[in-house]
Amino acid sequence: MSIVATIIIAVITFMIGALIGWLVEWRMDLAYWHTYFKDESEVEPDKVLIVPPAPPFQLPPVEDSLLVKTLREQLTERERDLDEARADLAERERDWREREAQLRETTERQTHTTIEQFNANESKWRETAAARESELSEEVRRLRAQVDDLLTAKTDLDSEWRHELARREQEWQDRKDADVSALNAEVDSLRARFTDVESRFAHYQSSHPDDLAAIDGIGPKIQEDLRRAGINSFAELARRSPEELHVLLNPPHWRKLDYGGWIAEAHQRAEANNH
């Protein structure tokens, strides 16, 4: 409503400004015609240009009747001009009043039309706003319903996810316990087998050992490594290849061992033992 009132006030202000401008123009025209027909006797004395008297000029004798007639003719002409100016002024004033009435009527009619248009547009705007508000309210209700459904689905999904997570954690724990139990049993079995192998190896070393350290290049440490790898006699060492010995001993890369010399000497010692 404030926008409509502002527009109406702006239109009325524009029309009043146009009317005031026309009145000013008419007043200037009136002042111009008033100064045009102003009598010379009304000029202020201090504004009269003083001209030095002209030298006497001798006119031919003129009859008084001719001078009076001439003055009367001039006065009649001035009065006729004045009547024409008054008639023109009256006609201008009449035109101004007619134009003022027309302008006032046009202004009132345009203002009334503008107000009616604004009222009609305001009614349409209100109807459109009400319809749009109803649509938005329905959209808000629909969105709220969707949000509620999504929240419900989220809650259900969280519950299902937590239940599934707990179930899988329990299954994983059960499998882990079973695997740990199986690994413990396997470790126990391997320990038992290792103990048996160690006892058998110790018995074998005590009953069938060869002094592998007697071979050139094999010291006590290498002899222990060879026996740990299952090589306890010269014959077993002679049956090995340099590659196998390198894999079994796995020496540092900077250490060079004469596997071929060991094998050759072990072969000689094994044949010597057989003979």
Reading the block at residue 52, the tokens are 């030095």
Both tokens assigned to 212: 């592998």
**What is d(CA 270, CA 275) in angstroms, rounded to the nearest whole number?**
9
Sign for the pseudo-dihedral over CA of 261, 267, 271, 273: positive
In the chain, the amino acid numbered 65 is S
Q: Is 77 exposed, middle or buried (0-12, 13-18, 19+ CB in 10 A)?
A: exposed
Helix, strand or coil, per DSSP, at residue 59: coil
What CATH number does domain 210-274 carry, 1.20.1530, 1.10.150, 3.40.50, 1.10.287?
A: 1.10.150
Domain ranges of the chain: 210-274
CB 263 within 8 A of CB 238: yes
* Per-residue pLDDT of the chain in tens (275 residues, 90 and over written 9): 567 667 777 777 777 877 787 777 777 777 666 665 554 444 444 444 444 544 544 444 444 567 677 777 877 887 888 888 888 888 888 888 888 888 888 888 888 887 878 777 777 878 888 888 888 888 888 898 888 888 888 888 888 888 888 888 888 888 888 888 888 888 888 888 888 877 776 665 555 678 888 899 898 999 998 988 888 889 999 999 999 998 888 888 888 889 999 999 999 988 887 76
Rg, C-alpha atoms of the chain: 68
